[in-house]
Amino acid sequence: MFSPKCPHCGRTATIEMLGSGYSSYPSQEPMLHCWTCGKRVYGKAVDALMIEQKRAYDLGAKDREAEALARSKAEEASRDLDRRVRMAVESRRREKVLKEESERQARLKNQIEFIEAASRLKGPTPRPKGVTCAWKECGARSRTNSKYCSRDCSNKNARWRHRQRKKQAA
Ligand SMILES: [Zn+2]
Ligand SMILES: [Zn+2]
């Protein structure tokens, strides 16, 4: 808000109209009166002062506007930079997570390959109990109602166990 200023001390001053009633001034003339330092300015000098002060105020207002615009642009640029920095940080974090995940997958794959290779070295997995003939030297499939594939293997196993018992007794 524009207000008249004292040309002497710079504080806000008031403008009064003189020349009414019994004043010693013949016509209506403005008077600037500073209540701080007591400075008084009369007549056309007040007009000139006001024109000058108003021009300075308007220029100041333009400067203030330009300054505010520049400030808001700078703030916007700063926010934009913040956003870009955050995005870069986020994207680097995401890359790191993806990299770690792919490394984890690679390690898992290696482990599986290692286990598979190890189990190949151990040979074929043994057939479940009860499927193969119980006579240790026979690899044939056992019959459904027997531990052995045949009467022959059953006898062989019985004779072997008999020999083992005799050995233990001796
Ligand atoms: Zn003053
Ligand atoms: Zn057999």
Q: How far is the CA of 42 from the centre of ligand 1 (A)?
A: 14
Nearest Cα to Cα of residue 12 among 66, 57, 67: 57
Are the beta carbons of 28 and 43 closer than 8 angstroms?
no
Q: How far is the CA of 133 from the centre of ligand 2 (A)?
A: 5
pLDDT tens digits, 93-137:
999 999 999 999 999 998 888 888 887 777 655 555 568 888 989
- pLDDT classification of 61: cutoffs 50, 70, 90: confident
Phi, psi of 141, rounded to the nearest 5 degrees: -75, 135
- Average pLDDT on 33-41 reads 94
d(CA 159, CA 23): 153
- pLDDT classification of 19: cutoffs 50, 70, 90: low
Q: How far is the CA of 168 from the centre of ligand 1 (A)?
A: 131
Q: Which ligand is nearest to the CA of 143?
A: 2
Q: Decide the pairing of beta strands 14-18 and 29-33.
A: antiparallel
Mean of per-residue pLDDT scores for the chain: 87
Domain boundaries in the chain? 14-121, 129-170
**Residue 104: its pLDDT value, please?**
93
Q: Which ligand is nearest to the CA of 146?
A: 2
Q: What is the pTM of this model?
A: 0.38
- Average pLDDT on 33-49 reads 93
- Is the predicted pLDDT of residue 17 greater than 90, yes or no? no
- Is the predicted pLDDT of residue 10 greater than 80, yes or no? yes
- Average pLDDT on 38-56 reads 92
Widest CA span of the chain, in angstroms? 158
- pLDDT classification of 25: cutoffs 50, 70, 90: low
